[in-house]
Amino acid sequence: MKFSLSINQQDYVADTQQGESIAITLLPNGLQPNHFGASACTSETLVAGDFIGDTKRGGSCNVNQLTIIPHCNGTHTESVSHIVNQLTPVYQAIDNNFFAAVLISVTPIAGRSSSDSYKPSIEPDNLIIDKAMLENSLSTYSNEELIGLIIRTLPNKQNKKSTVYDDEHYPPFITNDGMKYLVERQVKHLMVDFPSVDKMYDEGQLSNHRYFWNITLGEKDLNTHSQTNKTITEMVFIESSIKDGLYLCNLQVAKIETDAVPSNPTIFPLIKI
């Protein structure tokens, strides 16, 4: 099947057979990425009375019970409800599952190398993605092409699929100036290959999340200017064989009434016609 679409007055075709998932395959009870010291995703056989959900143990069918923390156990998409009292389920925050998305590759730099700001503060050795880096990577793209933004960090090692992020494996993050720039560019669906757009230990401020959704710093309630139709997807993985550029993205999420769910963003190359 092929889609025909127009973006920024340019016509394209996207072939559904050429789609590439940028989600990390989650292996319950196995190697998997992890953030903030959370419990790993696990799977166990459902046992209820005489019923055993395991055909290897004589059961009529296989029924597993999954225990998962979406924010910490792999590729997930979150809504503004991650940081506020009001519930906007993730699926309700996506008004169109298909949208234009730009993939860029950036090499995070040491905090000491940038004049950008962040709340609470940037440590000299923190690895950051700053405004100048984003401006340089996105200068040739229009806002219409930037409905979605996918950030791949370099080096693009395969161990991102199973890294346990901690003090010894401290993840990069976006500066506040960088996030404000993405807001100015009207990015609606931000996807990154690290566990959080915010610094891992940030005193609970989540300043980038708040700037992205237009939530007052320090507040936990929506306001009249909050952007509830935007999402953040974290811990994606983009194979190095996938080139930077403009794609059609299909952001697939489970229809669960919660603030974060496992997700499967899939991107399709766009061919000009």
Question: CATH fold of 2-24+75-272, please?
Answer: Glucose Oxidase; domain 1 (3.50.30)
d(CA 137, CA 159): 25
CB neighbour list of residue 157: distance below 8 Å, 6 or more residues apart? none
Which pLDDT belongs to residue 169? 94
Where are the domains positioned within the chain? Answer: 2-24+75-272
Which pLDDT belongs to residue 1? 87
Three-state secondary structure call for residue 6 = strand
Which pLDDT belongs to residue 206? 98
Question: Which tokens in the block code for residue 232?
Answer: 């953040």
Measured CA distances, 67 to 73, 89, 164, 196, 259 (Å): 10, 20, 18, 21, 16
Place of tokens 């503004």: 80
CA 154 to chain centre: 16
Which pLDDT belongs to residue 217? 96
Each residue's pLDDT expressed in tens, for the chain with a length of 273 residues: 898 999 999 999 999 999 999 999 999 999 999 999 999 999 999 999 999 999 999 999 999 999 999 999 999 999 999 999 999 999 999 999 999 999 999 999 999 999 999 999 999 999 999 999 999 999 999 999 999 999 999 999 999 999 999 999 999 999 999 999 999 999 999 999 999 999 999 999 999 999 999 999 999 999 999 999 999 999 999 999 999 999 999 999 999 999 999 999 999 999 999
Q: What is the pTM of this model?
A: 0.97
